[in-house]
Each structure stands twice: as structure tokens, then as C-alpha cells.
């Protein structure tokens, strides 16, 4: 029997590639997504399509309303998504988002007797979010062992970050080799209901450059301006 | 101007004492509670009364439905709350609960530009939960710094645990000195809607012993059996 894993699937291309990699590594994967009050339902719909495309049986969608915290362009519609590059950590940063998501993934994993969690964070072509860096992930994993009954009883939770040191074009190439259908993915921070992308936000810019560098055609549909 | 703090208030006596201690230390306190699908609304009502009794202006009640994860007697009504002591970590353990709560507190604190978080965990007279131990709290604090924009920009989040090495009777005495009205608090894992306690669960047993050891009369109303 293959070892089980929980894979966080957001609807973007990174997590789709991460799911493909976890399957390639012969993990028996459950998918976990968060409906957290993000700007657009397109993200959750994309996550569902990606999970279905890989024939994953269990897809848990956890509802947690982070608009109760706000202070991010992704969870507060009164803050505009930036459409030009800026210095430092952008306003699309959601306070402690990966810690919240990994905590919930940890809780869910513990109930499933699963000790491998995959998350598609990347610290090369990214928006500069602190909770995408290797030192953060390592620290969370240490905390996870101390936090849980399973950890006290001897389990070691492994937080797998197969993309963390890859460039966006390397991720795109790897995902393509493993059968990711990029037309199902949505990266845009302000996609419309159909999943059509704005083409100008940070996430769109990183995606467009990644496909260009990879020499692969991007199937994304962009909003007509 | 006093330094700001976020204090986690559950409705039990430990967090009430913690709030009193934070105020004694001259912190300007906001309260944070979690409506997480726990068995009884009495807990949230108690939290509200405690916060009001200390004239705290800001009381954030964050809704997060942990019945989506379940696997605990506190979030799954099909699992009975044990009424006799047992070996090991009991079924009232909620997977990764303090990591989830501290993650959300961290996110909220970051939006408030507040870097001091108080939590009433205790590793002496407690149910053996792993996420109440000092080594866990220290690890979470390290993770918090790495996880956040504020941390990257130089802030050090301090997780204050003033009760962690106190016995229950010491906590009760300390809280009484600082004006905690224990009649407002609810400790029972299966209190009824009025906040009346069962008297036999782990949490009730620890509370009853604590008041006895402290030589203080417990104002708790117990359910008539």
C-alpha cells in the first residue's frame, strides 16, 4: 500500500504541479483546498477541476472566512490588487496565511493518520511572501511535531515543498512532463468568474514570464480590456 | 501609551486569569475568542462576560468551524466526553487546536500591529495536551517570526504564557487576587446552555481539585443529576 499524503491544492499552477509530483512519488494523495473568502470563486473551481483531472478520490474543501481578519488585497475588496510591480512584500500578502493553512492541514492530516503534507510554495519566482521560504517551512515542521498527539507518539510530519527552489519555468516544464493540464489552472489574483485572468497583477506577470522562459504556450484566457 | 496585547479568552478560568495578569502587566488588551463548533455556546457566552467584566473594549470573536475536522469529543458530538480519568492524551484533544488558534491570533495581531499574544496554557494541572507545553510554545514563536511580514521587518512576536508552570490552585489564587470573578467562567467540557457544569469530566475534576487545594469556594453551578 502506498504511503498517504495530503496535498494543498489552490487552483494555481504551482499546486497542480505539486500534486503531479506527489503522485509521481507514489503517494496516495488526498487533496485539501481552502475556501477562505478569496476574491474569486474561480480559484476553488480550478482546484476542483485539477483534482478531478488527476482522479483523486478525496478532496476536502475547508471553509474558513479570512475576511474576518482582512488587511490583504486578496481578502478585502476595498484594497486594490496592484497592477504594477512594487518593492517589498506586496499588499496581496495575507497575514500568516500559510501558517493558518498548514495548521489546518496538520489537524486534518492527524485525523487521517497521514504524516506527509505537500505544499507548492516557491521562493524563487514568487511575490516575496515570508511564509514561502525554506526556513519558515522547516520551523513549521518542528512546531508540528511538538503540537500534536501523533508527534508526541513518535510521528514525524514531513512538509514536502518540491517546488521551493525551482524557477517558474522549471515548475512549468516539470508539471507539463507529469501531465498537468494548465488550462485548468488559475493564477490571477483577480480572475473573473470564468477564471479569465487580468494579465497585469503580480501573479499573472510571474506566470506569463514563466511560460515565456519555458518556451511553452500558456493556455490562459485573459480578460479583454 | 501602554503596549498592546491580544489575549485569547476561552471562557474558562485559566484564560480569565491570563487576561487579569496581562492587565496587571499594564498591557492594553484586546480579547480574541474562537467560536469553533465546540459543544456548547456557554463557553462563548462566558468569554463575553469575562471580557466585559474587565471593561475590555475590543473583543474579536472569530468563527472557524472545526467540526469540519472533527475527531475530538469537543467537536464531534458522536464521541462522548470521558467521565472517568484515563491514561495518555484524552479524546477531548482537538487536533492541532492551539496551532490553529495561535495562527489566527498571529494573523489578527499582525493586522493590529501588536506583537504580544497571551494564551492561558498550563502544563501542570492539565489534560496532557501536547500543545500546552513550553517547548511547543517556544517553537511556535520561532515559526511566527519567520511566517510574517512583521517578523521579516524586525518584529519579535512574544507568546506570553503566564500560567504555564503554575498549579491549578496557584492560578486560582492569583486570579482571585487580580479580581477574576470565577462565577463568570465555565470550565466544563459539556456544560449545559446555562453554563452549568457536569462535575465529572476531566476539566471539571481539575477545576474542583484546584479550588479545594486553594481553599477557595468554587462558585460553579453543577447540573443536578
A contact test, residue of B143, B153, B154, B157 with most A CBs within 10 A: B143
Instruction: Give the pLDDT confidence score for residue A225 in this predicted structure.
Output: 54
Question: What is d(CA B14, CA B126) in angstroms, rounded to the nearest whole number?
Answer: 11
ipTM: 0.94
Instruction: Give the pLDDT confidence score for residue A6 in this predicted structure.
Output: 98
Task: Tell which B residues from 102 to 121 touch A, by Cβ distance under 8 Å.
Answer: 103-104, 106-108, 110-111
Q: What grid cell was written down for A4?
A: 498517504
At B143, give phi and psi (nearest 5°). Answer: -65, -40
- The closest alpha carbon to A5, from A130, A162, A123, belongs to A162
Q: Is the C-alpha dihedral spanning A170, A174, A180, A181 positive or negative?
A: positive
The architecture (CATH level 2) of B4-214 comes to 3-Layer(aba) Sandwich (3.40)
pLDDT of B74 higher than 60:
yes
- The closest alpha carbon to A65, from A11, A104, A121, belongs to A104
Name the DSSP class of A139: H
Residue A53 CA: distances (Å) to CA of A34, A179, B36: 19, 9, 33
Q: Count CA atoms within 13 Å of residue B47 on its CB side.
A: 21
Q: What grid cell was written down for A22?
A: 506527489
Tens digits of residue pLDDT in B100-119: 999 999 999 999 999 999 99
Tens digits of residue pLDDT in B11-25: 999 999 999 999 999
Q: What is the mean pLDDT of each run of 10 residues along chain A (225 residues)?
A: 94 97 98 90 94 98 93 90 88 94 97 97 89 96 96 95 96 98 94 92 94 96 80
Residues 6+ apart with CB under 8 A from A187: A12, A13, A197, A203, A204, A206, A207, A220
- The closest alpha carbon to A206, from A152, A178, A167, A153, belongs to A167
- In chain B, the residue whose alpha carbon lies closest to the alpha carbon of A111 is B71
Three-class SS state of B55:
coil
Give the global pTM: 0.95
Number of neighbouring beta carbons within 10 Å of residue A225 = 6
For chain B, the farthest-separated pair of C-alpha atoms sits apart, in whole angstroms, at 56
Query: Could you identify the residue written with the cell 464521541?
Result: B79
Q: What grid cell was written down for A100?
A: 493558518
What ranges make up the beta strands (E) of chain A? 4-8, 28-35, 59-63, 116-118, 158-160
Chain A residues within 8 A of B110 when measuring between CB atoms: 71, 95-96
Domain map of chain B by residue range? 4-214
Instruction: Give the pLDDT confidence score for residue B193 in this predicted structure.
Output: 86
- In chain A, the residue whose alpha carbon lies closest to the alpha carbon of B100 is A103
Asked if residue A68 lies in contact with residue B62, where contact means CB atoms within 8 angstroms, the answer is: yes
Name the DSSP class of B223: P
Question: What is d(CA A61, CA A35) in angstroms, rounded to the nearest whole number?
Answer: 7
Residues 6+ apart with CB under 8 A from A215: none
Chains A and B: how many Cβ contacts under 8 Å? 134
Tens digits of residue pLDDT in B145-186: 999 999 999 999 999 999 999 999 999 999 999 999 999 999
Q: Where does residue B221 fall: left (phi above 0), alpha (psi -120 to 50 degrees), or beta otherwise?
A: beta
Q: Give A45-70 as a DSSP string.
A: HHHHHHHHHTT-S-EEEEE--GGGT-
- The closest alpha carbon to B141, from B99, B97, B94, B93, belongs to B99
Instruction: Give the pLDDT confidence score for residue B85 in this predicted structure.
Output: 85
pLDDT of B222 higher than 80:
yes
Task: Tell which A residues from 51 to 80 touch B, by Cβ distance under 8 Å.
Answer: 60, 62-66, 68-71
How distant is the alpha carbon of residue A116 from its chain centre? 16
Question: What band does B225 get if pLDDT is binned at 50, 70 and 90?
Answer: low
Question: What band does B37 get if pLDDT is binned at 50, 70 and 90?
Answer: confident
At A26, give phi and psi (nearest 5°). Answer: 70, 25
Question: What is d(CA A22, CA A51) in angstroms, rounded to the nearest whole number?
Answer: 13
Chain A residues within 8 A of B94 when measuring between CB atoms: 107
Point out the residue among B60, B103, B133 whose CB comes nearest to the CB of A100.
Answer: B103
With an 8 Å Cβ cutoff, is B126 touching chain A?
A: no
- The closest alpha carbon to B60, from B1, B2, B109, B133, belongs to B109
Three-class SS state of B117:
strand
Q: What grid cell was written down for A177?
A: 512532463
Residue A140 CA: distances (Å) to CA of A96, A105, A145, B213, B218: 12, 12, 9, 38, 40
Amino acid at each position: 500500500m502506498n504511503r498517504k499524503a495530503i496535498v494543498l491544492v489552490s487552483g494555481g499552477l504551482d499546486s497542480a504541479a505539486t500534486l503531479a509530483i506527489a503522485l509521481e512519488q507514489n503517494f496516495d494523495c488526498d487533496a485539501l483546498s481552502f475556501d477562505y473568502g478569496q476574491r474569486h470563486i474561480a480559484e476553488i473551481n480550478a482546484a476542483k477541476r485539477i483534482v478531478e483531472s488527476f482522479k483523486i478520490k478525496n478532496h476536502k474543501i475547508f471553509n474558513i472566512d479570512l475576511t474576518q481578519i482582512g488587511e490583504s488585497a486578496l481578502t478585502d475588496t476595498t484594497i486594490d490588487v496592484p497592477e504594477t510591480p512594487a518593492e517589498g512584500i506586496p499588499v496581496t500578502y495575507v497575514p500568516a496565511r500559510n501558517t493558518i493553512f498548514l495548521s489546518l492541514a496538520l489537524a486534518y492530516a492527524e485525523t487521517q493518520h497521514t504524516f506527509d503534507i505537500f505544499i507548492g510554495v516557491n521562493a524563487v519566482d514568487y511575490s516575496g511572501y515570508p511564509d514561502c521560504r525554506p526556513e519558515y517551512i522547516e520551523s513549521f515542521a518542528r512546531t508540528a511535531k511538538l503540537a500534536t498527539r501523533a508527534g508526541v507518539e513518535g510521528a514525524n510530519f514531513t512538509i514536502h515543498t518540491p517546488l521551493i527552489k525551482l524557477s517558474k519555468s522549471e515548475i512549468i516544464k516539470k508539471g507539463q512532463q507529469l501531465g498537468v493540464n494548465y488550462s485548468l489552472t488559475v493564477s490571477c489574483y483577480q480572475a473573473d468568474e470564468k477564471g479569465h485572468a487580468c494579465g497585469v497583477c503580480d501573479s499573472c506577470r510571474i506566470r506569463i514570464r514563466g511560460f515565456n522562459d519555458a518556451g511553452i504556450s500558456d493556455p490562459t484566457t485573459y480578460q479583454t480590456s
